[in-house]
Amino acid sequence: MKSPAGLLLAAIELDRDSATPLYRQLYLQIRKQILTGRLQGGIRLPSTRTLSQELKLSRITLLNAFDQLIAEGFLVSRTGAGTYVGDEWERSGHTEPPPPAPPQLSDLSQSMLSLRSHHFRGVSYAHYSADTPTSFLPSHGAFEAFPQHLWKRLLARHSQKPSKDMLGYGELQGLQALRQAIAEYVFDARGIDCSAEQVVIVSGAQQAFNLLAMLLLNPDDPVWMEDPGHIAARIAFQAHGCRVTPVRIDEQGIDVQQGIAECPEACLVFTTPSRQHPLGVTLSHARRLQLIDWAAAHQRWVIEDDCDSELRYSGRQLPALYAMDQSDRVIYVGTFSKVLFPSLRLGYVVLPPALVEPFCTLRAVLDRSPPTLLQAVTADFMSEGHFIGHIRRMRALYQARQSCLVGVLERRLGHFLRITPVEAGMHLIAWLPAHLDDQDIARQLAGHGVHTYALSDYCLQRYLPPALLLGFAGTAQAEAETKVQALVQALKALGQPV
Amino acid sequence: MKSPAGLLLAAIELDRDSATPLYRQLYLQIRKQILTGRLQGGIRLPSTRTLSQELKLSRITLLNAFDQLIAEGFLVSRTGAGTYVGDEWERSGHTEPPPPAPPQLSDLSQSMLSLRSHHFRGVSYAHYSADTPTSFLPSHGAFEAFPQHLWKRLLARHSQKPSKDMLGYGELQGLQALRQAIAEYVFDARGIDCSAEQVVIVSGAQQAFNLLAMLLLNPDDPVWMEDPGHIAARIAFQAHGCRVTPVRIDEQGIDVQQGIAECPEACLVFTTPSRQHPLGVTLSHARRLQLIDWAAAHQRWVIEDDCDSELRYSGRQLPALYAMDQSDRVIYVGTFSKVLFPSLRLGYVVLPPALVEPFCTLRAVLDRSPPTLLQAVTADFMSEGHFIGHIRRMRALYQARQSCLVGVLERRLGHFLRITPVEAGMHLIAWLPAHLDDQDIARQLAGHGVHTYALSDYCLQRYLPPALLLGFAGTAQAEAETKVQALVQALKALGQPV
User: Is B159 close to A140, i.e. CB distance below 8 A?
Assistant: no
User: Is B343 close to A169, i.e. CB distance below 8 A?
Assistant: yes
Tell me which chain B residues have a C-beta less than 8 angstroms from the C-beta of A31.
191
DSSP H helices in A72-190? 105-107, 148-157, 164-167, 176-190
Question: How far is the C-alpha of B385 from the C-alpha of B181, rounded, in Å?
Answer: 10
Closest chain B CA to residue A123: B361
Facing residue for A358 by CB, picked from B113, B146, B191: B113
Question: How far is the C-alpha of A328 from the C-alpha of B166, rounded, in Å?
Answer: 38
User: Is B210 close to A365, i.e. CB distance below 8 A?
Assistant: yes
Question: How far is the C-alpha of B166 from the C-alpha of A397, rounded, in Å?
Answer: 21
Model pLDDT for residues A171-212, shown as the tens digit of each residue = 989 999 999 999 999 999 999 999 999 999 999 999 999 999
Interface test with B, best of A107, A114, A158 (most B CBs within 10 A): A114
The pLDDT of residue A97 is above 70? no
Q: In degrees to the nearest 10, what's the CA dihedral of B93, B98, B99, B104?
A: -120
Confidence of residue A159 (pLDDT cuts 50, 70, 90): very high
- Does A228 sit behind a cis peptide bond, omega within 30 degrees of 0 on the bond before it? yes
Q: How far is the alpha carbon of B415 from chain A, nearest alpha carbon, in Å?
A: 34
Confidence of residue A125 (pLDDT cuts 50, 70, 90): low
pLDDT for res A5: 63
Tell me which chain B residues have a C-beta less than 8 angstroms from the C-beta of A222.
none
Question: How far is the C-alpha of A464 from the C-alpha of B360, rounded, in Å?
Answer: 32
pLDDT for res B432: 97
Question: How far is the C-alpha of A161 from the C-alpha of B15, rounded, in Å?
Answer: 38
Q: Which of residues 370-409 of B touch A (CB under 8 A)?
A: 370-374
CA torsion through residues B271, B276, B282, B286, sign: negative
Question: How far is the C-alpha of B273 from the C-alpha of B323, rounded, in Å?
Answer: 12
Tell me which chain A residues have a C-beta less than 8 angstroms from the C-beta of B355.
108
Q: pLDDT 10s per residue in chain B (498 long)?
A: 345 666 677 778 888 877 677 888 888 888 888 877 778 888 888 888 888 888 888 888 888 888 888 877 788 887 777 888 887 665 444 444 444 444 444 444 445 777 777 776 666 655 445 555 568 888 788 999 999 999 999 999 999 999 989 999 888 899 999 999 999 999 999 999 999 999 999 999 999 999 999 999 988 899 999 999 999 999 999 988 899 999 999 999 999 999 999 999 999 999 999 999 999 999 999 999 999 999 999 999 999 999 888 999 988 788 899 999 999 999 999 999 999 999 999 999 999 999 999 999 999 899 999 999 999 999 999 999 999 999 999 999 999 999 999 999 999 999 999 998 999 999 999 999 999 999 999 999 999 999 999 999 999 987 799 999 999 999 999 999 999 999 999 999 999 999
pLDDT for res A4: 60
Facing residue for B108 by CB, picked from A165, A169, A358: A358
B171 Cβ contact list (under 8 Å, min separation 6): A127, A129, B369
Question: How far is the C-alpha of B280 from the C-alpha of A432, rounded, in Å?
Answer: 65
Q: Is the ipTM of this complex over 0.90?
A: no
A479 Cβ contact list (under 8 Å, min separation 6): A133
User: Is B203 close to A206, i.e. CB distance below 8 A?
Assistant: no
Residue A303 φ then ψ, to 5°: -95, 120
Question: How far is the C-alpha of B331 from the C-alpha of B303, rounded, in Å?
Answer: 5
Question: How far is the C-alpha of A467 from the C-alpha of A422, rounded, in Å?
Answer: 14
- Say whether residue A207 is in contact with chain B using an 8 A CB cutoff: yes
- Say whether residue B476 is in contact with chain A using an 8 A CB cutoff: no
A330 Cβ contact list (under 8 Å, min separation 6): A292, A295, A302, A303, A304, A320, A321, A322, A352
How many CB pairs (< 8 A) connect A and B? 314
CA torsion through residues A371, A377, A383, A388, sign: negative
DSSP output for A429-471: EEEPPTTS-HHHHHHHHHHTT---EEGGGG-SS-----EEEEE
Average pLDDT score, chain A = 88
CA torsion through residues A161, A163, A169, A172, sign: negative
For A85, A96, A184, B230, the CA distances from A90, given in Å and listed in that order, are 9, 10, 65, 31
DSSP conformation class of A44: B
Facing residue for B162 by CB, picked from A124, A146, A301: A146
CB of B304 closer than 8 Å to CB of B330: yes
User: Is A366 close to B207, i.e. CB distance below 8 A?
Assistant: yes
Question: How far is the C-alpha of B493 from the C-alpha of B498, rounded, in Å?
Answer: 10
Other C-beta atoms closer than 10 Å to the C-beta of A177 total 17
For A134, A453, A462, A486, the CA distances from A441, given in Å and listed in that order, are 15, 9, 19, 14
- Does B228 sit behind a cis peptide bond, omega within 30 degrees of 0 on the bond before it? yes
- Say whether residue A172 is in contact with chain B using an 8 A CB cutoff: yes
Tell me which chain B residues have a C-beta less than 8 angstroms from the C-beta of A367.
203-204, 206-207, 210, 367
Question: How far is the C-alpha of A247 from the C-alpha of A224, rounded, in Å?
Answer: 6
Between A294 and B14, the more confident residue is A294
Facing residue for B103 by CB, picked from A217, A319, A328: A328
CB of B49 closer than 8 Å to CB of B60: no
Task: Tell me which amino acid residue A66 is.
Answer: F
For A40, A135, B181, B203, B317, the CA distances from B369, given in Å and listed in that order, are 42, 22, 17, 8, 31
CA torsion through residues B489, B494, B495, B498, sign: negative
Facing residue for B28 by CB, picked from A102, A188, A216: A188
pLDDT for res B219: 86
Which residues lie across from B250 on neighbouring strands?
A: B253
Question: Percent of chain A, pLDDT > 90?
Answer: 64
Among A3-17, A314-328, B246-260, the range with the most confident prediction by mean pLDDT is B246-260
CB of B318 closer than 8 Å to CB of B288: yes
Q: Which helix (H) or strand (E) holds B430?
A: strand B427-431
pLDDT for res B98: 43
Q: How far is the alpha carbon of B131 from chain A, nearest alpha carbon, in Å?
A: 8
- Say whether residue A495 is in contact with chain B using an 8 A CB cutoff: no
Residue B56 zone, left/alpha/beta (φ > 0; ψ -120 to 50; rest): left
- Say whether residue B86 is in contact with chain A using an 8 A CB cutoff: no
- For chain B, the distance separating the N- and C-terminal CA atoms, rounded to the nearest angstrom, is 71
A7 Cβ contact list (under 8 Å, min separation 6): A33, A38, A39
Tell me which chain A residues have a C-beta less than 8 angstroms from the C-beta of B108.
354-355, 358
Facing residue for A343 by CB, picked from B97, B148, B169: B169
Average pLDDT estimate for A62-90? 79
DSSP conformation class of B144: G
User: Which segments within A107-229 are labelled E, that is strand?
Assistant: 199-202, 222-227
Of B146, B144, B152, the residue nearest B377 (C-alpha):
B152
Closest chain A CA to residue B103: A354
B492 Cβ contact list (under 8 Å, min separation 6): B498
In what order do the strands lie in the sheet containing B268-271? B199-202, B347-350, B330-335, B301-305, B268-271, B222-227, B243-250, B253-254
- Say whether residue A33 is in contact with chain B using an 8 A CB cutoff: no
Question: How far is the C-alpha of A402 from the C-alpha of A279, rounded, in Å?
Answer: 16
Helix, strand, coil % in chain A, rounded to nearest 5: 45, 15, 40
- For chain A, the distance separating the N- and C-terminal CA atoms, rounded to the nearest angstrom, is 71
User: Is B164 close to A131, i.e. CB distance below 8 A?
Assistant: yes
Of B269, B323, B320, the residue nearest B299 (C-alpha):
B269
Task: Tell me which amino acid residue B101 is.
Answer: A
Which residues lie across from A199 on neighbouring strands?
A: A350
Q: How far is the alpha carbon of B420 from chain A, nearest alpha carbon, in Å?
A: 23
Confidence of residue A27 (pLDDT cuts 50, 70, 90): confident
- Say whether residue B435 is in contact with chain A using an 8 A CB cutoff: no
- Say whether residue B92 is in contact with chain A using an 8 A CB cutoff: no
Tell me which chain B residues have a C-beta less than 8 angstroms from the C-beta of A363.
125
Facing residue for A108 by CB, picked from B31, B146, B354: B354
- Could you tell me how far CA A113 lies from the centroid of its own chain? 22
Which residues lie across from A78 on neighbouring strands?
A: A82
Question: How far is the C-alpha of A240 from the C-alpha of A211, rounded, in Å?
Answer: 10
